[in-house]
Amino acid sequence: MPLHFKEYPLQQLVGRELAVEPNRVHDYTTSEGSATVDVRQFRRSTHGFGVSVYPFGNRSNTSLMLRVARETLPIIRFAINKPGSVERYSLSDGHTTDVGVGVNSSDRPAGWGMGTHSFAVGGVGRIRGERGTGGRLFAEVGGGISFGPIGFQVAVKIAHNRLKDPRPHSFYTVPMSLRGTLTF
Q: Write out pLDDT tens, residues 13-70.
A: 998 899 887 777 888 999 888 899 999 998 888 899 999 998 888 777 899 999 999 9
Helices (H) then strands (E): counts for the chain: 1, 13
What is the reported pTM?
0.87
* Angstrom distances, CA of residue 162 to CA of 4, 70, 77, 101, 170: 14, 17, 16, 21, 4
Q: Which fold has domain 6-182?
A: Porin (2.40.160)
Mark residue 33 as left, alpha or beta (left: phi above 0; alpha: psi -120 to 50; beta: remaining).
left
